[in-house]
């Protein structure tokens, strides 16, 4: 498997940490800890549940996790995407991020994606790539 692959589901916390580090993942120590701990929680694939019950997960992380698990229609609103949304006039300013603001911004991005006739998943990836200068598989 490419990337982190099987180690997320079966590896020790140290193995996850080493794989994330080898992939130049930011915050690999904490992410490895959170992934390892999350495996022991009965997963309900609901973003609210993940954000409220998994240590280290907010709405952005929960959205990212669910998208990686094959669920679509969740925006990953990181600083790159938020800055791009501001540049394109989708939002006037970047607010303090909390649940309410995250959901409002996600709804705005969803409307913009419908206007452009592109899925929100693809749109936030394009916005992220444009601002970060990276294109990942």
Active site members: 60, 78
CB of 86 closer than 8 Å to CB of 52? no
CA separation, residue 18 to residues 10, 11, 23, 30 (Å): 14, 10, 9, 12
């Amino acid at each position: 498997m490419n990337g982190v692959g099987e180690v997320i589901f079966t590896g020790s916390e140290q193995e996850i940490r080493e794989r994330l580090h080898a992939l130049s993942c930011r915050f690999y120590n904490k992410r490895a800890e959170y992934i390892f701990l999350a495996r022991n929680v009965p997963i309900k694939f609901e973003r609210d549940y993940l954000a409220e019950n998994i240590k280290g997960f907010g709405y952005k992380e929960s959205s990212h996790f669910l998208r990686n698990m094959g669920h679509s229609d969740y925006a990953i609103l990181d600083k790159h995407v938020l800055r791009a949304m501001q540049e394109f006039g989708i939002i006037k300013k970047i607010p303090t991020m909390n649940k309410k603001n995250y959901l409002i911004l996600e709804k705005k991005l969803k409307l913009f994606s419908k206007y452009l006739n592109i899925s929100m998943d693809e749109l936030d990836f394009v916005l992220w790539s444009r601002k970060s200068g990276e294109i990942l598989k």
